Amino acid sequence: RRMDPNTSASGGAPLQNTSPIMDPAELRDIIVRQGASIRSYQEQIESLQDQLCSASLTAPRDTPTARGGKDISIQLMELWQGSDAAADYAIRFRTLAAQSGWNDASLWAVFRAGLNPELQAELACRTEDTTLSQFVATAIRLDNLLRQHQAGPSRFSSSFREEVPEPMQLGRSGLAEPAQQQWSRMRLCYNCGASGHLSPRCPERPSSAQVGGGSRFFSLLVPVSLCVSNRCVSVSALIDSGAAVNLIDGALVERLGIPTFPCLPPLRITAIDSRPIGEGYLKRQTELLKFRVGLFHHERLAFYVTSSPANPVILGFLWLRRHDPQISWCTGELVCWSPACKEKCLRDQEYAEFREVFSEERAARLPAHQPWDCAINLLPNDSPPRGRVYPLSLPESKAMEEYIETALAAGHIRPSTSPAAAGFFFVGKKDGGLRPCIDYRGLNAITVPYPYPLPLVPAALEQLRGARIFSKLDLRSAYNLVRIKKGDEWKTAFHTTHGHYEYRVMPFGLTNAPAVFQALINGVFQDLLGKWVIAYIDDILVYSASPEEHVLHVREVLSRL
């Protein structure tokens, strides 16, 4: 039950000159003592109010009072947000709280109880281990978002915004002018409502990437390309699950000369509140257009024509259901396409003829001997040492057996009778897997170095000036694409608890392996390096100034691979 704080327990005359309701420590004890028997937050507040009002009958009469003689604590308990903004409610609350002597835990509960039910529901998922200032700042931000959403335009706001009169003049902080003056006098932060700092130094202040731009803050935009009659234009498309169909701006249709035909019958279009948008009907539709999202997602897509200059292309629910992309709501990006897309849309036609280049089976084959085979030249009068056998854990032993079996089947290794033997062990990978390693330190110490230089990374990055489009190619098991020079295989021998083997392809760990592979890759792309290709060992970067040019560059690189 809720008691009128101005009336005595027996219903008699109003209480006069009441004292502080109770000590904050006593209030906290009540909350802890009764918390276990109260089922809901609302019951807790009502029980707390009963305790406070009962305590006011017997407390000493030296409590602080505001103008009009009403007890400060009673005023705090009576304080409600009502139709005011949370920022204005916070001003009134902090004014009274500063005079109450209550601790933050008590003020936290009373401030929350005075908020509107809708705002309390939004705050329900917020943990209660935040400070009072943090909680007030969160309440103000959520209240501003709720009010913006309630007063906001329809789903197609960028194109169909109605002009409404401003209820009052707002300053840059978003507060009404009287509230700004009051906050200024109290030296409170315009952004979060806390004391101790001003708005420019507010720790809760949103970054520059989060402010401004109106509805753009809530939009998911992706780069797309439309192609008509061998002419392509790049625009940003809005992904909107609330739009039933795909839409395109009429001005863009006219500019590109996109053929259209009448919709029979016209398609009715309404806002979220069922009000008609524009004329209320979509009367024209485009033919199927070549449509690309990013660089590699291709399809043919038709659009309904509307007026939407701020978002010239809108991809609706039907498009989302068809492609089922995985979206990162934190970064606002499409991070993964559905399996159906990988089978259909992501088969890039520009590079379809080079599909064999990306084949795992092809990369696993034993390559033929070539002039660039890796030779292992030893210092005079030296021979590879025989290393020890490393003990392996059960998971490592299982991984070793799988590796040996796979490498033997591919022809990358063979059983050996070499007097040399390096140790075999594993190192952990970032993804939690195991990477096989051979301890070639003894062999490397007596190997004649191959004096081929590796590229300087800073100098290579300077070549990227002016480039806008990039593709990175990482060669699969790159070192295994090079054979060990015939007759040198015995020098690569290694032993395990399950046998003695030697490599037929260039393994990781040889001192000359990076230089040998760099010489090979530079020979393949010699005339392209420094123009639009950077090659660092097995990583190839293709860079271009335009999408059209980039397709030609990537095709040339793939043709050489």
Burial call 418-447: b when 16+ CB within 10 Å, e when fewer: bebbbbbbbeeeeeeebebbbbbebbbebb
Q: Please, which pLDDT band fits residue 165 given cuts at 50, 70 and 90?
A: very low
83 shares its domain with 181: yes
257 shares its domain with 337: yes
Residue 539: which domain range? 394-560
Strand partners, 261: 285
317 shares its domain with 413: no
325 shares its domain with 452: no
Strand partners, 558: none
Is residue 9 assigned to a domain? no
Q: What is the dihedral of CA 476, 482, 487, 488, to 10 degrees?
A: -70
303 shares its domain with 424: no
Q: What is the dihedral of CA 296, 324, 344, 356, to 10 degrees?
A: 60
192 shares its domain with 284: no
Residue whose pair of structure tokens reads 């017997």 in the numeric block: 58
How many CB atoms are closer than 10 A to CB 298?
21
Is residue 138 assigned to a domain? yes
Rounded Cα gap, residues 195 and 137, in angstroms: 11
* DSSP code per residue over 379-415: PTT----B-PPPP--HHHHHHHHHHHHHHHHHTSEEE
Q: pLDDT tens digits for 315-350?
A: 998 888 888 888 877 767 777 777 777 666 665 556
- Rounded average pLDDT over 362-383: 89
128 shares its domain with 265: no
Q: Is the Cβ–Cβ distance between 544 and 468 less than 8 Å?
A: yes
Range scoring the smallest mean pLDDT among 147-151, 297-301, 417-421: 147-151
336 shares its domain with 470: no
With 70 as the cut, is the pLDDT of residue 302 above it? yes
Domain count for the chain: 3
Compute the Cα dihedral for 412, 415, 420, 422 and give only its sign: positive
Q: Is the Cβ–Cβ distance between 532 and 544 less than 8 Å?
A: yes
Is residue 123 assigned to a domain? yes
527 shares its domain with 478: yes
Peptide bond into 262 cis (omega under 30): no
Is residue 371 assigned to a domain? no
Average model confidence (pLDDT) for the chain?
Answer: 76
Residue 306 sits in a domain whose CATH number is 2.40.70.10
Is residue 490 assigned to a domain? yes
Q: Please, which pLDDT band fits residue 51 given cuts at 50, 70 and 90?
A: low
Q: Within a 13 Å sphere around the CA of 480, how many CA atoms are in the beta-carbon half?
A: 15
255 shares its domain with 193: no
Helix (H) or strand (E) holding 103: none
Rounded Cα gap, residues 91 and 88, in angstroms: 5
Rounded Cα gap, residues 222 and 237, in angstroms: 5
Compute the Cα dihedral for 164, 166, 167, 172 and give only its sign: positive
Residue 428 sits in a domain whose CATH number is 3.10.10.10
Q: Which two tokens stand for residue 560?
A: 């050489």
405 shares its domain with 329: no
Choose the most confident range, by mean pLDDT, from 1-5, 414-418, 495-499: 414-418
3-class DSSP state of 135: helix
418 shares its domain with 512: yes
Is residue 10 assigned to a domain? no
Is residue 409 assigned to a domain? yes
- Rounded average pLDDT over 18-34: 48
